[in-house]
Chains A and B, each alone.
Chain A
Amino acid sequence: MKPAPFAYAKARSLDHAIELMAKDAEGRILAGGQSLIATLNMRLSAPTLLVDINGLSELRGIHRKDGNLEIGALTRQREAERSSDIARCAPLVAKALPHIAHPAIRNRGTIGGSIAFADPAAELPACLLALGGEVDVAGPGGKRTVKADDFFKGLFETALAPNDVLTTIRLPAATMDSRVGFAELTRRHGDYALVGLAASARKDGYVLRDVRLAFFGVGATTLRARKAETELEGRALDDDRIKVAASVLAHDLDPPPDVHASSATKRHLAGVLLKRVARQLDEPLS
């Protein structure tokens, strides 16, 4: 199908983008467009204005700052995949990126776009949540920062107001004691996950601390399995411990069925992934 008619404007600056958005209640920001244009083509959405922010170089780039890694929202996924700073400071993101769609899509798709779109089965929102990162948002009322735990509100719904622009993603940079794990199950490479898990922790002697498990594809948003986290927290990982953590997932997750799998299947697969990812959390970063 073809999109319904809309007007198009190229933003000259971040302020200009916010100004343009304020003029049209049915406006949408166009970043990489790899989800948005698909929904336009299928007429699942019909905005009356697209504000193209692709020319805004101030929203691109990857920088280290004060123990954090700051990723400009407009940074292409492919650019992040090739970045040595991502490999070193955000190894969880580096692990997740190759799972996102296909090279031709990652050439256009942006880090911020994926997080702002908040598909419940997407990889990057889960990475942001697992790492306990935050995002900077600019809007008509000025700028603010939102923690990952407060960002994802519901199905395709975030803390972003209609005229807000997500500008920066800030992740705590990995250190020697950081541990990360990532796994997802898909029918074909590049598909959205049936179930996925992004995880981070800190190794403290023989035990794990600050364990964060962010599942995706199991609900309306990416979500933390807090009971399973508690079972792994402050413990040495062995088979029995991992089994206990997997067994309490039933309290953490209530995945709705979809066309690919029943609730029971998804819950089972979440346990399989937890076992795989827990093993990764025990390994030092390469």
Chain B
Amino acid sequence: MSERFHFITVTVNGEEIREHVDARKTLVDFLREDLALTGTHVGCEHGVCGACTVRVDGEIVRGCLMLAVQCDGARVDTIEGVSDQGEITDLQQAFAERNALQCGFCTPGMLLTAQELLATGGASDRAQIREHLSGNYCRCTGYHAIVDAVEAVAKRRAGGAK
């Protein structure tokens, strides 16, 4: 069916949701406007800044470069869900301790991006952390404190696993 409006069923932060969406609505606008999940931010709207980063079926994606209608049948996790489940509590604390945020606009995307690297065990050195975060812009911190926070969590998690 080639139609403009479609029903989608999508699992957002563990909750199954059925909505009627306009095909042109991006995933990030759907989350913010239809579901009032405003933790995911809208920045550049062309994939450059990383503020709209969310997880779809377990992988981070740009919320502005995916359409809501494409998420029919998918599992979407936003900063609200990941935060509430306690998955990144240590990372959030490290960001606060090291002043890895000021205005906070980039922080939800930054946290989800860093968590993907940490979860796959890829954060073994600062160059890798910088490369992985290179698609997420921060206009406040100069990045140094963010890299510090991610590195500290990587070390702590590696220590805890021993």
| Chain B interface, number of residues (Cβ within 8 angstroms) | 34
Contacting B at CB under 8 A, from A6-53, are 6-10, 20, 23-24, 30, 33-34, 37-38, 40-42, 49-50, 52
A78 to B58, CA, bound (A): 13
| Residues of B near any A CB (own CB < 8 A) | 1-4, 6, 22-24, 26, 29, 45-47, 50, 53, 59-62, 64-67, 69-70, 72, 113, 116-117, 131-132, 134-136
A176 CB within 8 Å of chain B: no
Task: Indicate whether A2 sits within 8 Å of B47 (C-beta atoms), given known contacts A33-B67, A189-B134.
Answer: no
| Residues of A near any B CB (own CB < 8 A) | 1-10, 20, 23-24, 30, 33-34, 37-38, 40-42, 49-50, 52, 54, 78, 98, 101-105, 107-108, 188-190
A20 to B1, CA, bound (A): 9
Which chain B residues border A105 with CB–CB below 8 Å? 47, 62, 65, 135
Check B62 against A8 for contact (C-beta < 8 Å): no
Task: Indicate whether A104 sits within 8 Å of B6 (C-beta atoms), given known contacts A1-B45, A9-B1, A38-B65.
Answer: no
Check B2 against A49 for contact (C-beta < 8 Å): yes
Nearest-CB residue, chain B, relative to A20: B2
A108 to B134, CA, bound (A): 17
Check A34 against B131 for contact (C-beta < 8 Å): no
Which chain A residues border B113 with CB–CB below 8 Å? 103-104
Check B50 against A108 for contact (C-beta < 8 Å): no
Taking A104-B113, A105-B62 as known contacts, 11 extra A-B pairs with beta carbons closer than 8 A to each other, sorted by chain A number, are A3-B24, A7-B3, A9-B2, A10-B72, A38-B45, A41-B45, A78-B59, A104-B50, A107-B61, A108-B65, A190-B134
Check B47 against A188 for contact (C-beta < 8 Å): no
